[in-house]
Amino acid sequence: MARLRELHLLLTYQCTFECDHCFVWGSPFQVGTMTVGQIRDLLAQAEKLGSIEMIYFEGGEPFMYYATLLESIRQVKARGWRAGIVTSAYWAPAREDALLALRPFVDVGLDALSVSDDAYHGSNGEQSPPRLASQAATELGIGTSAISIEPPSPTVPPSGEGKGEPVVGGGVKFRGRAVAKLLEGLPRRLWQELTTCPYEDLADPMRVHIDPLGFVHLCQGIVLGNVWARPLVHIMSSYVPSAHPISGPLLEGGPVALARAFDVAHEDSYVDECHFCYDLRDRLRCKAPEWLAPDQMYGVPES
């Protein structure tokens, strides 16, 4: 069984932003939010794994449900684990506001605050919300880090680091909304070249994401099961990477092997492995709904 070190809980799919690069199609119009009772249940399930060291709360935007988030951090710390939050810092329009928002999290022992600090999230200088939130966290003694994603653009490797073919810079992973919004003008590679999964450890994952609907995500949109139907410890103990209908082919030969395993139609070229994989999974959802879910991860809002 994979020895998970971290759980990343998507507290909500809702977000104050609707970023073009978002993995999970977060937006003000998304639905799905965990309750305190559900989080307490999840943490009890996590204890049975015997290997968890840290719990992250993400979204969407977790600060939209402030009271639930604060109580969740308290519950995590009561179990002796480290706790972190990923946020856009929309709640920090000024230094005083940032300090007021974060001070209660000092009292419950928050260890880490990861702030999305880029143009997608309104960062445009030292007085922008992401910078003010980071400054306040540092002042209060909360560990802080920045997540910065730049709009993708064609670049050419320096001499000696490739054959001069354009590559894509910016840090965007081409899953989710990025596939719908950010592909125009980018260089592509032939589909036959995309034979690995370079971004996720499918064979021995150290962390998984769990969304408000209970789905356990190996990668956003590739699920292992649902914790509201089956305990997390059973889901993880039964995960055999080579036998999983999606991770098995990806481990064998990346998106190319996944396309061949399901004999699915596809395009002739893609920006990268993520783009090819996401496009395949979107096409395959009707054939493998148990493993490719929920619809929200593929841009289809819950009705």
CATH code (residue 33): 3.20.20.70
Q: Does residue 12 sit in the same domain as residue 142?
A: yes
Give one DSSP letter per residue of 74-139, joined into a string.
HHHHHTT-EEEEEE--TT-SSHHHHHHHHHHHHHHT--EEEEE-SGGGT--STTSHHHHHHHHHHH
Is residue 235 in a domain?
Answer: no
CB-based contact 182:149 (threshold 8 Å): no
Give one DSSP letter per residue of 247-263, joined into a string.
HHHHHHHHHHHHHHHHT
Q: Does residue 24 sit in the same domain as residue 103?
A: yes
Which element (helix H / strand E) includes 210? strand 207-210
Would you say residue 68 has pLDDT above 70? Answer: yes
Indicate the pTM of the whole model: 0.94
Q: Does residue 139 sit in the same domain as residue 180?
A: no
Q: Using the 3D structure, point to which of 84, 116, 149 is the last residue of a domain.
A: 149
Which residues are CB-contacts of 220 (< 8 A; sequence separation ≥ 6)? 23, 24, 175, 176, 209, 297
- Number of structural domains, the chain? 2
Q: Does residue 140 sit in the same domain as residue 30?
A: yes
Q: Using the 3D structure, point to which of 149, 175, 210 is the last residue of a domain.
A: 149
Distance between the two ends of the chain, CA-based, in angstroms?
35
Is residue 287 in a domain?
Answer: yes
| DSSP conformational letter for 33 | B
Q: What is the pLDDT of residues 185-222, one digit of tens each?
A: 999 999 999 999 999 999 999 999 999 999 999 999 99
Q: Does residue 23 sit in the same domain as residue 116?
A: yes
Which element (helix H / strand E) includes 147? strand 143-147
Q: Does residue 74 sit in the same domain as residue 119?
A: yes
Is residue 29 in a domain?
Answer: yes
Is residue 81 in a domain?
Answer: yes
Q: What is the pLDDT of residues 141-161, one digit of tens each?
A: 999 999 998 889 887 665 555
pLDDT of 303 reads 46
Is residue 134 in a domain?
Answer: yes
Using DSSP, state whether 202 is helix, strand or coil.
Answer: coil
Of the candidate ranges 45-54, 113-122, 288-297, the one whose mean pLDDT is the lowest: 113-122
Residue 139 domain boundaries: 1-149
